[in-house]
């Protein structure tokens, strides 16, 4: 039996591949933790609605824990939830980061504060190889948010597939690990059924500081 764990969940492709690998390795993922903004209307990382996140979690057969936080209290709220997980006997946290060391440093810090160990199944994987693995496994994802510093609005709302990757500017890698775009996985081998949705519109979003720049966000229903 593998370790009991929660997953720091964005709903996107990297989270999905990391979850897939963790489950294959025998990790017992008992909950998905998704962080939302203060209003609770959008997930912090990918601007996904609670309803779609819940539908995705149900298709995965995993409980979803949703917490709200502003930038000022994000770490405190996150750590509080990890301590609650630890009190239930969960010993590990799983994260989908690939190669950004400051992200790993923060994840290890908050896990340590709750007496947990951080697991990063994708760590130091080649970015394009990871994308190819995800698509070869049969996962499908929708591009739900793009950073306007890197991509224009027409990239938002598209399916994350070979055609999308081929259209990316040379300065944007296929994984978008630097935050150039974010995705929502709606189908694949770990989901019992596809998450039904449609792109209603693409909106421009200018978040409050300290988030830089502005974004284009797909409204999904």
* pLDDT at residue 36, rounded to an integer: 96
Calculate mean pLDDT across residues 69-77.
Answer: 94
Residue 61: pLDDT band (50, 70, 90) is very high
Percent of residues, the chain, with pLDDT higher than 70: 97
Nearest CA-CA partner of 190 in 57, 30, 40, 53: 57
pLDDT in tens, 7-60: 999 999 999 999 999 999 999 999 999 999 999 998 987 889 999 999 999 999
- Give 42's DSSP letter: S
- Cα gap 104→100, rounded to integer Å: 7
Task: Map out the domains of the chain with their CATH numbers.
Answer: 4-119 (3.40.50.620), 141-220 (3.90.1490.10)
pLDDT attached to residue 31: 98
Q: What is the mean pLDDT of residues 67-96?
A: 97
pLDDT of residue 96: 97
Closest CA to 50 of 70, 34, 61: 34
- Condensed to tens digits (0 to 9), the pLDDT of residues 107-165 reads 999 999 999 999 999 999 999 999 999 999 999 999 999 999 999 999 999 999 999 99
Question: What confidence score (pLDDT) does residue 212 get?
Answer: 60
**All residues at 6 or more sequence positions from 122 whose CB lies less than 8 Å from its CB, including other chains:** 14, 17, 18, 21, 96, 97, 98, 130
Q: Is the peptide bond before 221 cis (omega within 30 degrees of 0)?
A: no
What is the CB neighbour count within 10 angstroms for residue 101?
8
pLDDT of residue 221: 85
Tens of pLDDT, residue by residue over 166-221, are 999 999 999 999 899 999 999 999 999 999 999 999 999 876 665 566 899 999 98
pLDDT computed for residue 45 by the predictor: 79
Q: How far apart are CA 13 and CA 48, in angstroms?
A: 13
> Half-sphere exposure of residue 48, counting CA atoms within 13 Å on the CB side?
29
* pLDDT at residue 208, as a whole number: 64
Alpha helices in the chain (DSSP H): 13-24, 50-60, 74-87, 101-113, 127-137, 162-167
Give the C-alpha separation, 35 to 44, whole Å: 6
Looking at residue 207, what is its pLDDT? 67
Report pLDDT for 115: 98
């Amino acid at each position: 039996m593998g370790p009991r764990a929660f997953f720091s969940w964005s709903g996107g492709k990297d989270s999905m591949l990391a979850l897939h690998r963790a489950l294959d390795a025998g990790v017992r993922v008992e909950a998905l933790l998704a962080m939302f903004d203060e209003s609770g209307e959008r997930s912090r990382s990918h601007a996904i609605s609670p309803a779609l996140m819940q539908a995705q979690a149900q298709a995965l057969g995993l409980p979803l824990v949703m917490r709200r936080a502003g930038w000022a209290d994000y770490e405190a709220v996150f750590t509080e939830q990890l301590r609650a997980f630890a009190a239930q006997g969960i010993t590990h946290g799983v994260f989908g980061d690939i190669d950004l060391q400051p992200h790993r440093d923060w994840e290890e810090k908050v896990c340590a504060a709750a007496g947990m160990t951080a697991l990063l199944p994708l760590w130091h994987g080649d970015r394009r190889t990871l994308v190819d693995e995800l698509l070869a496994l049969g996962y499908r994802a929708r591009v739900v948010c793009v950073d306007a510093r890197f991509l224009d609005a027409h990239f938002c709302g598209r399916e994350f597939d070979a055609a999308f990757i081929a259209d990316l500017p040379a300065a944007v890698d296929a994984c978008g690990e630097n935050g150039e775009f974010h995705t929502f996985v709606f189908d694949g081998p770990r989901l019992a059924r596809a998450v039904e949705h449609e792109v209603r519109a693409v909106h421009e979003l200018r978040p409050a500081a300290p988030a830089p720049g502005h974004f284009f966000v797909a409204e999904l229903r």
